[in-house]
Structure 1
Amino acid sequence: MANIENNPKIVADFIKIKCVNQWPELVQLNCHINRTDKNISALYADIIFSEDIQNLNGIYNVAVERDQKFVDYTTLELDYCTALHLVHSQSLIQIISSGLRRVSNFPLSCPLKKNKTYFVNGFTLDPKIIPIYMPKISFRTNATCLSNKREIFYITCFGRVMRK
Structure 2
Amino acid sequence: MYVTPLAFIAILFGYRLVQPIAAKTDFELQFENFTCIRGSASKANPLKSFHCGLSKNPKRRTMHMEFALLEPLNEHEFHMLIVIPRRTVDFVLLNVTTDGCQLLSNKNQVPLLRIARDILDRYSNFPRLCPFEQGKAYYMRGFRLDLSLIPAVMMETPVSVQFGYKRRQVQLFQGHIVAHVQRTSIAKKKKDV
Shared fold per TM-score greater than 0.5: yes
Q: Share of identical aligned residues, percent?
A: 17
Which one of 124, 135, 139 corresponds to residue 119 of structure 1?
A: 139
Which blocks of at least 5 consecutive residues in structure 2 are unaligned? 1-21, 185-193
Provide structure 1 residue ranges, at least 5 long, that are not aligned to the other structure: none
**In structure 2, what is the equivalent of residue 22 of structure 1?**
39
Match 1:61 to one of 53, 57, 81:
81
Q: What one-letter code is carried by the residue in structure 2 that aligns with 1:104?
A: S
When normalised by structure 2's length, the TM-score is 0.71
Distance apart, 1:11 and its partner CA: 0.4
SS of the aligned residue for 1:96 comes to helix
- 1:30 alignment partner AA: H
1:46–1:120 Cα contact (<8 Å) kept? yes
Contact 2:165–2:171 (CA<8 Å) still a contact in 1? Answer: yes
Q: Residue 130 of structure 1: CA displacement?
A: 5.7
Q: Quote the residue 2:183 is aligned against.
A: 163
C-alpha deviation, 1:32, in angstroms: 0.8
Relative to structure 2, which stretch is displaced further, 104-113 or 60-69?
60-69
Contact 1:15 1:158 in 2 (8 A): yes
TM-score (normalizing by structure 1) = 0.83
Residue of structure 2 equivalent to 1:32: 53
2:158 corresponds to: 138
Secondary structure (helix, strand or coil) at the match of 1:60 reads: strand
Across the aligned residues of Structure 1 and Structure 2, the Cα RMSD in angstroms comes to: 2.4
- Larger strand fraction of residues: 1
Range that drifts further, 149-158 or 68-77:
68-77
Per-residue CA deviation, residues 12-56 of structure 1 (Å, 9 max, x unaligned), is: 1110011010134521210011167xx432110111111111101
Q: Supply the AA of the counterpart residue of 1:12.
A: L
CA distance in 1, matches of 2:143, 2:88: 27
How many residues align? The count is 156
1:12–1:160: 8 Å Cα contact kept in structure 2?
yes
